[in-house]
Amino acid sequence: MVLVDHDDFSNIEVYETRVIQDVKSLRKFYAEINKTRKPGLPVPIIDFSKETVVLVCLGEQRGKKTARLSKIKETDNEVSIAVEILDEEQKGEITIQPLYFPFYLYKLPLIDKTIAFQKVGK
């Protein structure tokens, strides 16, 4: 899995994972997160004939978080991916925890299997 894009503000308020398999769906997601941005984030160029995109939106988070994805197991028809949410290291003392709505976009080689997500930790 390769991290393609990440930002701390997605406007998506709840935790969500999604598999994106075409350009139209990817553009629709970027149209959604770019509603309040001028200029908006550029849509990454993905070759959907060879790659699949995995989207992880962490929803509302107090303080900076990061998502780490790892493959748990693979069967003949399913791949299980763990989504671990980790606190980022803060410099200095912070008395107010700002709100973030981070998203992570990963690409992986095209597979003909179902992708299942398991949230680990917080």
pLDDT of residue 99: 84
In the structure, what pLDDT confidence band is assigned to residue 92 with cuts at 50, 70 and 90? low
pLDDT of residue 90: 64
Quote the percentage of the chain above a pLDDT of 90: 63
DSSP notation for the chain? -EEEEEESB-S--S-EEEEE-SHHHHHHHHHHHTTT-SSPPPPPP--TTTEEEEEEE--SEES-EEEEEEEEEE-SSEEEEEEEEEEPPPPS--SS--EEB-EEEEEEE--SSEEEEEEEE-
The model carries a pTM of 0.87
pLDDT of residue 122: 58
pLDDT of residue 62: 83
